[in-house]
Structure 1
């Protein structure tokens, strides 16, 4: 009987081995399946006078070929890869918004500025003026179109984030259900391998959407944590997440992931705590990459509108009126906070707002020890400290003045988005060709008795004056709000002494040599004269060439003075100044005409960086997954060899049974005689 038992046990053990091998082969293409193998153990022998006699073999358990460390590393790497991949895909959409060529925004800006050349050549030609205004309207339309495309991407990203949140909740619930099944099965003393594989696969799928940390429990369940320490799954209970606008800055359109807690307010999870996964990649794209694209476009729209509006206000229309704004621009931007601080940025006062110094970024004012704190430029993290609200108000940052009427509490943060809506709201405001302020409001007359070779090379209104307190030029205004542009009373006369100097009469401020870098006030009187240098006086700028003789004069006065008649209608000094804006450095050392190319380059650089990160994370994830598969994956050649091995073992065990049966039959027959 012992031999029969040995054979029977061997037969059953090899049958289980064959079944397990077949199970491996059947699941070779099943995602997340871990190869299984049979662990056999010797049945304790029976003691006899001759020693212990073996009693065969038993199946101890079915082993799951699995490496916990490799599985976790592969899941984490796949989470990072998912974040980088989805960010790269979204960048492709962002680059499509900022396309080049004749249909791009850059072409529209250049066409608008170049069209002013015809106005300069023929200031009274209404057709030339109409073409310029049409180009302005087209530029505004393309800016709005680009902003609309960015808004559509924002909506699409938001919908994908919400879908991801739903998927995360479904997967979390699935893991909790499998946890329950595993806990029940573990009561039998053996691991439910297929359920463990199912749970690991669900965890891998979950990591595609949000990176997790797994903590095993004694009952066989696994706790799933996100955001550092938030329990998404704990035993057989699953929590949920949701996506919405950040509560830290209401109205900011910044997206955030919330962890929904039982009996408590949803907890906003910081982007830095999420790690990888599509959700983290989409949040980074929405709150940083897409925000930068919006800021770059908004800064361009704001700078173009502000600069052109300012110069338009310096000129005169065909009816002799001061120019009205060409584009609408935001007057002020309020800070966003959930606390008590109240602050804004004035975008209308040229003494508080410098278009040429703007940086495409959002800003945070953080109160550390109120009223002291720091202003942080979010694009690169640069921080500027301030001691109180007055100190903050008097020290512009990147051309912006932060004006607070109430400080925040310690730790309070206030978000400023100065360029968020500038592009979406951009409109051309002037549609009548007569309202284009092409004429300069100042007129220059050379003295009738001049005997030198002095010639007028340029004259325009700038509205700039020297600020002794700041020791630099400032686009200033009088106390009553009027720009420095035209002399308010008597004309200003330059009288040359024939020795390289000149005297001034009728002026308010000392002259400034604009050809120096940086500009400096001229010392005098007498003031030194250099042929070809630009001289700024009382908010207008004159350029003279040639060699004057003693007594030569140049008189600059109001262009609408009756003694000049309607000569201002044939003057295109301000149109020339508007056209010259294309060569003004306005965007990170780029000129207005090259600003769009710089915008494309910045977006392209970020996209290229994202592509590089995606390729790197893909390589790392692929290698780690290959390492995991090397341990857990099914090799068909190996399984085929084992089939033959176990088949032969099965046949041998059957032979043992056959021999044992023959011996038993012979024994019965012998005893029957």
Structure 2
């Protein structure tokens, strides 16, 4: 009777184990499309044997539900998410910069810098041929104003884009703080409920939050006691430690949004140290790419305006006086594009004649027109300098496009490797479900046989006496 009781216990345990495995399979199937879900598998293990009168008797098996998770694959996917977040954010910003300088039919906006520059120097050539004509003189001032307006517009749009990127950084920092707070809370739950074993859905939730965080900021991750995870930025600024999160802050520094974090208890500017994630991409686009474009525009505006003012001051205007400045420009190149104005309002003030010319001379108009082909902007002609700027911008965008394509492909590959282990395959789950159902039926059959044997024993072999 004792052996039957043991066999009944084993059958009962087998039924429970099979049902647990069936339930895990059903959970997998129902979560096939759940973002961040990790496939669960049933792992069966033989229970300890029992020594009865010198004979070792089995006591059935146990089942453990294990999440199919690989830390190395998870971290690789996070690293690729960080890289793709940065390259994608930078490329988006660069494409917006490129749109500023796209050629249109209008020359009175940012896209018309090149055409307005050509028209401006061509107006001096027209003045050279007809230095006393009022309409021709007015055309010089009009073309000067068109050039100033175009370069101001470009500078203004670059400044606006830089401001927008700063606002995006502020918003992303707020998202980072929200995510790190949730991750720290999950660390606490996992440490209290499953400090030494797989925490199942709680770990899935934590991992998904870390993946989202990786899209915003570059991370370094390490495991801690009680199944916890510690997170820092790539430069070591703490974000999460145990059930405590450390907030980043976005602060205005010199008119630009900077990111600060806690290092050794001190708030430290970590803006230039960040890498990975959309925050780093936005900062790179703002502080490197847009800043470089703004510097080029400032150089163009300052050098052209300075050369024209200097040459105009070398001649005589229509009234025989020494020529003055045509452009209003600051004392240095910094900010020249944004502040460039046409300070000369009277067309008569254009110094077409040289000091030795008589009335109606055009020697200085010839010299002014020659500036268009002179190497007056950074050792290049104005047109060549602006063309080089556009070429460099195109090269930068092309490189950024290639970088984004590479990181996106690497992220896809890393995600596929992770999903091959952790994702749900309906074919595999259908096979497992069939196996576990048959196992359940087999255990039920054993249970039924033992029940019949018990009944036979109770009835002393007379099966009809007691059912």
Distance 1:174 1:90 in 2: 30
- Cα-to-partner distance string for 1:339-381 (whole Å, 9 max, x where unaligned): xxxxxxxx4xxxxxxxxxxxxxxxxxxxxxxxxxxxxxxxxxx
Match of 1:106 in 2: 114
Deviation, structure 1 residue 114: 0.6
1:257 maps to 2:265: no
| CA deviation map 1:481-507 (0-9, x unaligned) | xxxxxxxxxxxxxxxxxxxxxxxxxxx
Residue 223 of structure 2 corresponds to residue 216 of structure 1: yes
Partner of 1:232: 239
1:5 to 2, 9, 24: 9
Which of residues 172, 185, 200 in structure 1 aligns to 2:193? 185
Gaps of 5+ in 2: 107-111
Q: How far 1:275 moved relative to its partner?
A: 2.2
- Return the offset for 1:228: 2.2
**Separation in 2, partners of 1:645, 1:587:** 78
Following superposition of structure 1 onto structure 2, how do residues 295-314 of structure 1 map, counting pairs within 5 Å? Answer: 295-314=295-314
SS in 2 for 1:129: helix
Distance in 2 between residues matched to 1:154 and 1:602, nearest whole Å:
19
Distance 1:265 1:671 in 2: 85
* Corresponding position: 1:432 with 2:432: no
Structure 2 distance, partners of 1:670, 1:284, is 88
Q: CA deviation at 1:260?
A: 4.2
Paired residues, number:
454
**Displacement, 1:244?**
2.9
2: distance between equivalents of 1:168 and 1:275?
14
Cα shift at 1:23: 0.9
> Counterpart of 1:17?
21
Q: Equivalent residues in 2 for 1:628-667 (5 A)? A: 628-667=418-457
Q: SS of the residue aligned with 2:328?
A: coil
The answer to whether the 8 Å contact 2:238/2:263 transfers is: no
> Offset at 1:608?
0.9
Higher strand share: 1
Does the CA-based 8 Å contact 1:228-1:274 persist in structure 2?
yes
Aligned partner of residue 155 in structure 2, secondary structure: helix
Secondary structure of the 1:213 match is strand
Distance in 2 between the 1:70 and 1:194 partners?
18
User: Is the counterpart of residue 33 in structure 1 residue 37 in structure 2?
Assistant: yes
Indicate if the aligned counterparts of 2:307 and 2:376 stay in contact, CA closer than 8 A. Answer: no
The offset of 1:49, in angstroms, is 5.0
User: Segments of 4+ in structure 1 off by > 6 A?
Assistant: none
C-alpha contact 2:170 2:257 (8 A) present in aligned 1:
no
Indicate if the aligned counterparts of 2:73 and 2:414 stay in contact, CA closer than 8 A.
yes
Q: How does 1:267-306 map to 2 (within 5 A)?
A: 267-271=268-272, 273-306=273-306
Alignment of 1:90-489 (within 5 A): 90-103=93-106, 104-186=112-194, 190-246=197-253, 251=254, 253-260=255-262, 265-271=266-272, 273-331=273-331, 347=332, 418-419=333-334, 421-443=335-357
The two structures have a TM-score, normalised by structure 2, of: 0.93
Q: What is the alpha-carbon distance in structure 1 between the residues aligned to residue 113 and residue 235 of structure 2?
A: 44
Matched, 1:597 2:383: no
Shift of 1:47: 2.5
Structure 2 equivalent of residue 52 of structure 1: 56
Alignment partner of 1:442: what SS? coil
Q: CA deviation at 1:215?
A: 1.6
Matched, 1:64 2:64: no
In structure 1, the residue matched to 2:86 is 83
Note the C-alpha offset of 1:126: 0.6
CA distance in 2, matches of 1:288, 1:275: 14
Instruction: Indicate the structure whose relative CO is greater, using CA pairs within 8 Å and at least 6 residues apart.
Output: 2
User: How far, CA to CA, are the matches of 1:168 and 1:114 in structure 2?
Assistant: 54
Residues 154-192 of structure 1 show CA distances to partners (whole Å, capped at 9, x for unaligned) of 1110110000000000000010110111011125x5421
Which whole-Å deviations, capped at 9, do the CAs of 1:311-366 have from their partners, x for residues lacking one? 111111111111111111112xxxxxxxxxxxxxxx4xxxxxxxxxxxxxxxxxxx
Alignment of 1:582 with 2:339, yes or no, is: no
**Structure 1 unaligned spans of 5+:** 332-346, 348-417, 444-566
Deviates more, 1:49-58 or 1:83-92: 49-58
Q: Is the 8 A contact 1:242 1:260 kept in 2?
A: no
Q: 1:647 to 1:587 in 2, by over 3 A?
A: farther
Secondary structure of the structure 1 residue equivalent to 2:12: helix
After TM superposition, the structure 1 stretch with the greater mean CA deviation from structure 2, 5-14 or 209-218, is: 209-218
1:50 shift after superposition = 7.2
Distance 1:618 1:215 in 2: 25
Is the 1:99–1:600 Cα contact (8 Å) retained in structure 2?
no
Q: CA deviation at 1:590?
A: 3.5
- Work out the CA distance in 1 between the residues paired with 2:269 and 2:401: 29
Q: CA deviation at 1:586?
A: 3.4
For 2:250, what is the secondary structure of its paired residue? strand
Offset at 1:67?
Answer: 1.0
Structural RMSD (CA): 1.8
CA distance in 1, matches of 2:137, 2:262: 60
Which protein is richer in helix relative to its size? Answer: 2
**Corresponding residue SS for 2:226:** coil
Q: Residue 109 of structure 2 corresponds to which residue in structure 1?
A: none
Deviations 1:132-162 (A, max 9, x none): 1111111111111111111110111011000
Q: Secondary structure at the match of 1:314?
A: coil
Residues 290, 107 of structure 1: alpha-carbon distance in 2 compared, 3 angstrom cutoff: same
TM-superposed CA distance for 1:42, in Å, is 1.4
**Aligned counterparts of 2:389 and 2:251: Cα–Cα separation in 1:** 29
* 1:193 to partner: Cα distance: 1.1
